[in-house]
Amino acid sequence: MQTLPVIMGKMHQHASQPNSLTGKTLQPATFTTQLAEVHQLIQAINPNRYAKTRNFLNGEVTYLSPYISRGAVQLTEVADAVLSKFKWYECEKLIQELAWREFFQRVWQSKGQQIENDLKQEQQQVLHYKMPEAISQAATQIDGLDAAIANLYQTGYMHNHARMYTAMLACNVAKAHWKMPAQWMYYHLLDGDLASNHLSWQWVAGSFSSKKYYANQENISKYTGSNQYKGYLAKSYEEIAEMPVPDVLQAKHIPTLTTSLPTTPNPSFVEADLLVYNSYNLDAAWHSHENVNRVLLLEPSHFENYPVSAQVLDFIIQLGTDNINQLQVFVGSFTELKKLYHQAVPQGTMVFKEHPLASHYQGKQESRTWLVPEVTGYFPSFFGFWKKCERYFK
């Protein structure tokens, strides 16, 4: 991992390499911001290959998470695409993984800011509340993991299995509290989503699950494609759980995580409603055939609380402006935007989608698109949530 992330310019390429497991392709070198290309990726999903190879870092996963997290692609679109071509038993694993994302969103919707702290019980064996320096420098001496961290800096993406390994190493081996490393990862992820990110970290650390998650060197090498079989994780799971913090993970620090927002002009308005977009709602289909005002709101207070890298911010802005007709970008508070809009359109209505981070918005709130809208409320486990959901697909 390099100490300074590579800042990508336009992300309209899909450079790739052969996949030794499936004959398909590895992760794209950059993530397109053209939704027409993303929709082609959705239509090309093979849920059978996904189910068989998804745990491998070069497995055939969808790479749709940046678009789903940003609200540019809906879970229903992915589910409908595969179910229209494949039988339920072929699609079940993929649909289940989509449901995990919805489960995290329902927890967030129910618990709000509580997800930023230990949710079910306190994380055990915490020695500090900082970031293991070796992880942030991709110098953990675990080859497959160091490569995945370096890739995160370069592309803004990390495979889910590598995220679990990183969280395991930080929380359960280096014995850091989960929150600072989780903030570091969120900062660099194009698909950064507080619910999926923070609750996954808590699941690994044992504060949102019944036990801590561990992986040893054999497991990591198998799924990352590494040839490493020695090192401090070349032990049984029981030995790893009991061993002291390895020397390489002793150094710790507090990473600098800040977002530099651009300066933007005040938006101009026509005599019509105002649709308010944000970094979690970049839905190009939302009222797409209506003559309305459209503003992507980037609030400084939001990014002070939940900073993202320049690479992530660039992706958010491009994904919005490349696909949403006449979208204007405004850096300021919701209150400032409301004042400007009502000065120009006194009787106009501000419209937004429901979201935990939009709870201070005022105007007409509309629902998000849910995979299973019938299943609502808080579920303490994914198993209970999934049992309620799966009957709507069978």
Phi-psi region of 71 (alpha: psi -120 to 50; beta: other; left: phi over 0): left
Which tokens in the block code for residue 383?
A: 């198993």
Q: What is the structure's pLDDT at 27?
A: 74
Looking at the fold, whether 72 and 169 belong to one and the same domain comes out as yes
Which are the contacts of 76, defined by CB distance < 8 A and separation ≥ 6?
Answer: 369, 370, 371
Structural domain contains residue 265: no
Q: What is the structure's pLDDT at 3?
A: 28
Looking at the fold, whether 319 and 178 belong to one and the same domain comes out as no
Helices (H) and strands (E) in the chain, counts: 16, 7
Distance CA 26, CA 86 (A): 23
Query: How many domains is the chain built from?
Result: 2
3-state helix, strand, coil in the chain (%, to 5): 45, 10, 50
Q: Distances in Å between the alpha carbon of 351 and those of 114, 256, 285, 365?
A: 27, 35, 14, 6
Distance CA 120, CA 108 (A): 13
Distance CA 379, CA 356 (A): 17
Do residues 300 and 333 touch, judged by C-beta distance below 8 A?
yes
Looking at the fold, whether 140 and 35 belong to one and the same domain comes out as yes
Looking at the fold, whether 287 and 248 belong to one and the same domain comes out as no
Distance CA 47, CA 64 (A): 14
Q: What is the structure's pLDDT at 342?
A: 98
Looking at the fold, whether 248 and 295 belong to one and the same domain comes out as no
Structural domain contains residue 233: yes
pLDDT, one tens digit per residue, over 72-91 is: 999 999 999 999 999 999 99
User: For residue 352, what is the enclosing H or E element?
Assistant: strand 350-353
Looking at the fold, whether 59 and 155 belong to one and the same domain comes out as yes
Distance CA 210, CA 376 (A): 23
Which are the contacts of 327, defined by CB distance < 8 A and separation ≥ 6?
Answer: 277, 294, 295, 296, 320, 321
Distance CA 54, CA 74 (A): 20
Which tokens in the block code for residue 352?
A: 């937004």
Q: Which residues of 62-100 are buried (b: 16+ CB within 10 A; e: fewer)?
A: bbbbbbbbbbbbbbebbbebbbeebeeebbbebbbbbbb
Domain that includes residue 332, residue range: 274-362
Dihedral sign of CA atoms 203, 355, 317, 306 in order: negative
Structural domain contains residue 189: yes
Looking at the fold, whether 185 and 225 belong to one and the same domain comes out as yes
Question: What mean pLDDT is reported for the chain?
Answer: 93
**Rounded to 5°, angle at Cα 37 from 294 and 70:** 45
Which are the contacts of 313, defined by CB distance < 8 A and separation ≥ 6?
Answer: 259, 260, 261, 298, 303
Nearest to 313 by CA among 375, 244, 377, 261: 261
Structural domain contains residue 40: yes
Q: What is the structure's pLDDT at 26?
A: 57
Structural domain contains residue 129: yes
Q: What is the structure's pLDDT at 394?
A: 81
Looking at the fold, whether 251 and 386 belong to one and the same domain comes out as yes
Dihedral sign of CA atoms 383, 384, 385, 388 in order: positive
Looking at the fold, whether 176 and 281 belong to one and the same domain comes out as no
Structural domain contains residue 266: no
Looking at the fold, whether 10 and 133 belong to one and the same domain comes out as yes
Looking at the fold, whether 382 and 328 belong to one and the same domain comes out as no
Distance CA 44, CA 295 (A): 32
Looking at the fold, whether 91 and 18 belong to one and the same domain comes out as yes
- Which residue reads 């618990």 in tokens? 111
Give pLDDT < 50 ranges for the chain: 1-25
Structural domain contains residue 89: yes
Structural domain contains residue 166: yes
Q: What is the structure's pLDDT at 28?
A: 75
pLDDT, one tens digit per residue, over 179-222 is: 999 999 999 999 999 999 999 999 999 999 999 999 999 999 99
Nearest to 178 by CA among 131, 221, 245: 131
